[in-house]
Every structure is written in structure tokens, then in C-alpha cells.
Amino acid sequence: MRSISRSAAVALSATAALMAAPSLAHADAEYRSSSMKADAHGSTLHIRRVFAGDDGEVRYEDSYYTSGPDGASVRHVYSRAH
């Protein structure tokens, strides 16, 4: 019974290692920041996300959310460099 438990533990460990290996090999970098302002005239929110891939490609995503007495708006800007 003990060898069956040991074999099962080795098999599970090997499976977990094999499943984790591709994600470690393709680990990308990501950066996020946000800023917000609110006053009597309305509010704004800016969110920036930056991704750097293994292949050297860098992508930027900027999202701007605004609201005020005249309504609300959303604007997205996407860019990338390789």
C-alpha cells in the first residue's frame, strides 16, 4: 500500500511539473497603473496596462472613463511596438 501511495505522489508531482513548465517558459511581464480624480464637476479614471512578451513585442492599453454634468464617456487607446 505504501508503494502505491508513493507512486501516486510521484505521478501527481510529475503531472503538476509538466503542466507548469509551459507557463514558466512563456512568462510575460505586465504592468498596471490607474489614477482617478473626482470633484463637483465630474470624475475621471485612467487605467494603463502594459504587456511585454517573450518575443519583444510591447502592447499598451489606455482606458479613459469620464463623467460629468453632460454625461459619461469611455475612450480606449491601443498601441504596440515590436
Distance separating alpha carbons of residues 64 and 10, to the nearest angstrom:
50
Which pTM does this prediction carry? Answer: 0.60
Decide if 51 contacts 28 (C-beta within 8 A). yes
**Residue 1 confidence (pLDDT):** 47
**Residue 55 confidence (pLDDT):** 84
Q: What tens-digit pLDDT sequence spans the chain (82 residues)?
A: 455 555 555 454 555 554 554 544 556 789 999 999 999 999 999 999 999 988 889 999 999 999 999 999 999 999 998 8
